C-alpha cells in the first residue's frame, strides 16, 4: 500500500513495513465479508476507510534490467488519476513482506516522468525519448520509451484503519483485497489481506493484527512472504506450463493451489506434473 492509494499525496521517498495473509478459504467471499465486518482486533478498533479500485501496470526494459536490479516501475490508476512509481525491493525475503522497501511515487505529469527517468538513468537504466504514445496516456508513453508490460492487474480494495484504544491516530492499515491478474492465457483471481504499519506504528502493531486475524480465521488464512508482483509472475509461469490444471474454479485459485504456488515460489522451480 502506498500513500496515494489512501488518498494522500505521496512524498518523494518512503519506506513500507507490511505483512500479507493470503485467503485460501473454500468460500473466499464469506471470509472477505467476515473481515470487512470486524470492528476490532486485539484491542485495536477498526475504522472504515474508503473502497477503491486500483489498476496497476508494471514495466521493465526489453533486457529485464529493472528486474535484475531488484526494482520495478509501475503506472497506477485510481479513479481518473494516474501515478508513476519506482520501487527498490529488499535484500532479503522474510516474514515481513517487502520489509522497509524504498519507494518513489509521483502523480503522472511530464515533470514526474522526467524526474523518474533521471533517477533511473543515474543508476544505469536508460530510456528512449517518449514517442507519439505520449499523446495517448501513461501506459502508451512508457511503451513508446522502449519498456514492455510485465504485469497487468486490478485490485478491489476495502480499507480499515487500526486505531488504539486510547487515541485517534491510526497505527496501521488493513487492506482487504480482491485481485484479478490479466494474463495472456486467461485472468486469474485471488484474495488477500495486507496490513501496513503507519509511521506512528511498527512491527509490534503488525504482529498483533496478524496474530489476531490468524486466531479468528486460522483455517482460512496463510501468511505469505511474497508481494502481488512476484506472486503474479509465478502464477503466470505455472499457468503457461499447465501446473494450475484442476486448481482453478473459473478464474479463481482454489485453496489447494496455494501449496503448489508456495513451493514454486520457495524454490523458483515450476515442477512438472
Tell me the C-alpha to C-alpha distance, in Å, between residue 85 and each of 2, 100, 117: 10, 16, 11
Residue 180 has φ and ψ, to the nearest 5°, of -120, 115
Q: For residue 175, is pLDDT > 90? A: yes
pTM for this model (two decimals): 0.87
Provide the pLDDT for residue 101: 52
3-state secondary structure 94-158: CCCCCCCEEEEEEECCHHHHHHHHHHHHCCCCCCCCCCHHHHCCHHHHHHHCCEEEEEEEEEEEE
In CATH terms, the superfamily for domain 4-267 is: Hypothetical Protein Pfu-838710-001 (2.40.320.10)
* b/e burial code for range 82-109 (CB count within 10 A of at least 16 → b): bbbbbbebeeebeebbbbebebbbbebe
Provide the pLDDT for residue 103: 79
Rounded to a whole number of angstroms, the CA Rg of the chain reads: 19
* In contact, 36 and 137? CB cutoff 8 Å: no
The mean of the pLDDT values for the chain is: 87
Amino acid at each position: 500500500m502506498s500513500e496515494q492509494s489512501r488518498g494522500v499525496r505521496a512524498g518523494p521517498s518512503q519506506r513500507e513495513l507490511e505483512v500479507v495473509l493470503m485467503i485460501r478459504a473454500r468460500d473466499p467471499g464469506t471470509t472477505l465479508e467476515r473481515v470487512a465486518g470486524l470492528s476490532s482486533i486485539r484491542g485495536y478498533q477498526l475504522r472504515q476507510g474508503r473502497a477503491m479500485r486500483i489498476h496497476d501496470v508494471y514495466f521493465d526494459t526489453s533486457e529485464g534490467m529493472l528486474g535484475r536490479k531488484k526494482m520495478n516501475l509501475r503506472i497506477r490508476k485510481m479513479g481518473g488519476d494516474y501515478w508513476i512509481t519506482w520501487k527498490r525491493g529488499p535484500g532479503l525475503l522474510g516474514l515481513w513482506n517487502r520489509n522497509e522497501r524504498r519507494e518513489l511515487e509521483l502523480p503522472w505529469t511530464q515533470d514526474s516522468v522526467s524526474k523518474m527517468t533521471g533517477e533511473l538513468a543515474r543508476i544505469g537504466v536508460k530510456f528512449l525519448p517518449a514517442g507519439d504514445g505520449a499523446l495517448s496516456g501513461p501506459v502508451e508513453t512508457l511503451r513508446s520509451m522502449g519498456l514492455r508490460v510485465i504485469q497487468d492487474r486490478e485490485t478491489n480494495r476495502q480499507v480499515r484503519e487500526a486505531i488504539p484504544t486510547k487515541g485517534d491516530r491510526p497505527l496501521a492499515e488493513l487492506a482487504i483485497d480482491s485481485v484479478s491478474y490479466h494474463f495472456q492465457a486467461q485472468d486469474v483471481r485471488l484474495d488477500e489481506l495486507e496490513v501496513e504499519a503507519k509511521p506512528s506504528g511498527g512491527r509490534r502493531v503488525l504482529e498483533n493484527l496478524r496474530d489476531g486475524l490468524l486466531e479468528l480465521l486460522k483455517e482460512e488464512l496463510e501468511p505469505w512472504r511474497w508481494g502481488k508482483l512476484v506472486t503474479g509472475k509465478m502464477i503466470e509461469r505455472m499457468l503457461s506450463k499447465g501446473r494450475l490444471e484442476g486448481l482453478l474454479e473459473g478464474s479463481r485459485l482454489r485453496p489447494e493451489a496455494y501449496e503448489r504456488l508456495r513451493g514454486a515460489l520457495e524454490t523458483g522451480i515450476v515442477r512438472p506434473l
